[in-house]
Amino acid sequence: MNTEMSIIIPAYNEEENIELIVEELEKVVNKLNISYELVFVDDGSKDKTWNKISKIGENNKNIKGIKFSRNFGKESAIFAGLNYAKGKCCAVIDSDLQHPPETLIEMYGFWKNGYDVIEGIKLERGKENKLYKWFSKLFYKLMSISTKVDMEKTSDFKLLDRKAVDEIIALPEKNMFFRAMSSWVGFKTITVGYQVQERAAGNSKWSTFGLIKYAIRNIVSFSTAPLQIVTFLGLLFLVFTIFLGIHSLYKYFSGQALGGFTTIILLQLITGSITMLSLGIIGMYISAIYDEVKNRNRYIVEKSVNIMDN
Ligand code: UDP
Ligand code: MG
């Protein structure tokens, strides 16, 4: 193992960005003057992404790639990249140049100084629409509360030491939230700020519905806080029930029953909706458990370039 740095690049329909990111990353590794490999993970792209990766790979053995048989999602792509990477340290970076490649120089410096987990932190959120900002704020708030890690500014842009990478790829869970896992593994950690750039070409790969699904999955895969909140709500309601029960019985025995129609309707609505919500939350956990129990592969590799021979 004598590759100094592996750079993992998940790519889904990024045909216009592949050459650009290769060029930028090569500038960085040349400046650092280190041995390197770029590990592209084509997450089942439908455009020419794979053609570009394999063509570049033919002329440069440092550029490696695997292509998934279909779209398995960014988390699976990152995981696969970490799995194939050979470097003493591994960086993960988006293929759309939103993560400035030069930041890797600073990250590498910290790694050289003995840090194991170097987290890229967004100094400013990029251009996003209001609804997206609102949702991501809510999501990160929930994540931060439940993971006790300040997640608001974190991203998938990171540099990890080999020992952190080995811990992460050894985790058996299928629904992994990479952003939180890198802090979960511990080790000597530091953050490095970066300015989120405009996407070089193409569009964001997320739909609103996709993002909501992703957010729920990640919360469920990393935290049981929602289940605890539901239990707490149940207890709170028990207290109300006791008070209201005593109150109603008192009214009944003192002959002032009847009335209280509004109370009944409100109680019905509140308990009904809380019960439904709680069932829903429990359902999400059951479906996450179901996914884990099935124990399917995280991804299926269809093709690869420069992977076998190292
Ligand atoms: N990506 C991926 N699989 C997916 C969606 C995205 O590998 O299913 C990659 C994408 O090619 C990019 C990175 O993940 O390199 C970030 O995606 P995107 O730019 O669409 O997300 P955003 O920056 O808008 O959060
Ligand atoms: Mg992007």
Proportion of the chain above pLDDT 70, given as a percent: 95
Tell which one of 8, 12, 157 to mutate to probe ligand 1, the residue whose CB is within 8 A of the most ligand atoms. 12
Q: What pLDDT, on a 0 to 100 scale, did the predictor assign at position 126?
A: 58
Identify which ligand lies nearest to the alpha carbon of 132.
Answer: 1
Q: What pLDDT, on a 0 to 100 scale, did the predictor assign at position 130?
A: 75
The contacts of residue 181 (CB under 8 Å, 6+ apart) are 168, 171
Could you tell me if 183 and 119 are in contact, meaning their C-beta atoms sit under 8 angstroms apart?
yes
- The overall average pLDDT reported for the chain is 86
Q: What pLDDT, on a 0 to 100 scale, did the predictor assign at position 13?
A: 93
Each residue of 25-82: pLDDT tens digit?
Answer: 999 999 999 999 999 999 999 999 999 999 999 989 899 999 999 999 899 999 999 9
Q: Is the CB of 46 under 6 A from ligand 1?
A: no
Q: CATH classification of 5-222+296-309, choosing from 3.40.640.10, 3.90.550.10, 1.10.10.10, 2.60.40.1930?
A: 3.90.550.10
Q: What pLDDT, on a 0 to 100 scale, did the predictor assign at position 159?
A: 96
Ligand 1 nearest atom to the CA of residue 96, by list position: 15
Tell which one of 205, 213, 214 to mutate to probe ligand 1, the residue whose CB is within 8 A of the most ligand atoms. 205
Each residue of 136-146: pLDDT tens digit?
Answer: 777 777 777 76
Dig out the tokens for 40 from the structure.
């592209």
Tell which one of 9, 96, 195 to mutate to probe ligand 1, the residue whose CB is within 8 A of the most ligand atoms. 96
**What does the alpha-carbon distance between residue 199 and residue 204 come to, in Å, rounded to a whole number?**
8
Q: What pLDDT, on a 0 to 100 scale, did the predictor assign at position 149?
A: 65
CB atoms within 10 A of CB 243: 9
**Residues in the chain where the model's pLDDT stays below 50:** 310
DSSP letters along 143-170, please? Answer: HHHHHSS--TTEEEEEEEEHHHHHHHHH
Ligand 1 nearest atom to the CA of residue 9, by list position: 15
Q: Is the CB of 136 under 6 A from ligand 1?
A: no
Kindly indicate whether the ipTM for this predicted assembly is greater than 0.90, answering yes or no. Answer: yes
Q: What pLDDT, on a 0 to 100 scale, did the predictor assign at position 182?
A: 81
Q: What pLDDT, on a 0 to 100 scale, did the predictor assign at position 310?
A: 46
Give the containing element (helix H, strand E) for 80: helix 74-84
**Which residue's entry shows tokens 């996003």?**
128
**What does the alpha-carbon distance between residue 96 and residue 94 come to, in Å, rounded to a whole number?**
6
Helix (H, G, I), strand (E, B) or coil at 173: coil
Q: Is the CB of 95 under 6 A from ligand 1?
A: yes
